[in-house]
Amino acid sequence: MCTLHTLDQGVWAVSTSARSSYHHGDLRNACLHAAWGMLAEGDVASLSLRAVARRAGVSANAPYRHFADKDALLTAVVARGYDELRLALATADEGARPGEHHVDMGIAYVHFALDHPAVFRLMFSNSCRSDPEVQSAALSTAMVLARRVMAVTPATEVDTVLMASWATVHGLATLILDGRVAPRGPAKLDGLVRDVIRATTSFGET
């Protein structure tokens, strides 16, 4: 059903293994993987094309065979980010406890942000908001939320409720990420998300 592989395993792992030949074989993916890894360790400002090439074990200009410029690389990373987020949300929705779909999806959303802070910030920066690939990836991600909202909301209110749900969970993720809101102890994170979502959800779940 879902053919998407997570970036930390599966087909991606191969691309980081030592290469024996002059040709890399999968440099595009290796660059994305390297960029993803570097964003896990630092922020966007510290990510340079040269460093990505270095980490992929390749000369500084080799990435230009696969990306028009630095922006194109970042755009591709962001698109992957949305794919990952969409997968995480869909998985949470599928495995949700009865009557807890919103809460479990919200928890997954916040966890994604905390697990990939720099990627998350990049996804919601204005730098690549107008790229078509990113826009479509963002839209499919939003659709996962939308489907759940539509299942339990009168048609006339779907727009507002979708925005409200998304805004709440997105804002919460951002505020926690930035240290403006602090769950007391990591075990309390899920409870905090649950409480906030319940406090803002006036519509029922079936």
**In the complex, which residues of this chain contact DNA (CB under 7 A)?**
21-25, 27, 48-51, 58-62, 64-66, 69-71
**Which parts of 67-96 interact with its own copies (CB under 8 A)?**
none
**Helices of type H across 60-157:** 70-94, 101-115, 117-123, 132-152
CA dist 12 and 30 (Å) reads: 7
Applying CB under 8 A, does 64 fall inside the site for its own copies? no
Using CA atoms, how far apart are residues 40 and 45, in angstroms rounded to an integer?
A: 13
* Of the residues 8, 69, 71, 157, which one makes contact with its own copies according to CB under 8 A: 157
Instruction: Select from 12-20, 72-80, 85-93, 190-198 the region that touches its own copies (CB under 8 A).
Output: 190-198
Sign of CA dihedral 101, 182, 110, 125: positive
Burial of 81 (0-12, 13-18, 19+ CB in 10 A): buried
Pick from 70, 164, 190, 205 the residue near its own copies by CB under 8 A: 164
User: Applying CB under 8 A, which part among 29-37, 48-56, 84-92, 169-177 lies near its own copies?
Assistant: 169-177
Angle at 24 between CA 23 and CA 25, to 5 degrees: 100
**What is the closest distance, in whole angstroms, from the C-beta atom of residue 185 to its own copies in the complex?**
15
Residue 156 interacting with its own copies (CB under 8 A): no
Q: How far is the CB of 91 from DNA (least distance, A)?
A: 32
C-alpha dist (Å) from residue 104 to 133, 154, 204: 28, 22, 15
Q: Does 124 bind its own copies (CB under 8 A)?
A: yes
132 is a contact residue toward its own copies (CB under 8 A): no
Angle, vertex CA 170, rays to CA 167 and CA 173, nearest 5: 145
Residues that bind its own copies (CB under 8 A): 43, 45, 117, 121, 124-127, 129-130, 138, 142, 157, 160-161, 163-164, 166-175, 177-181, 192, 195-196, 199-202
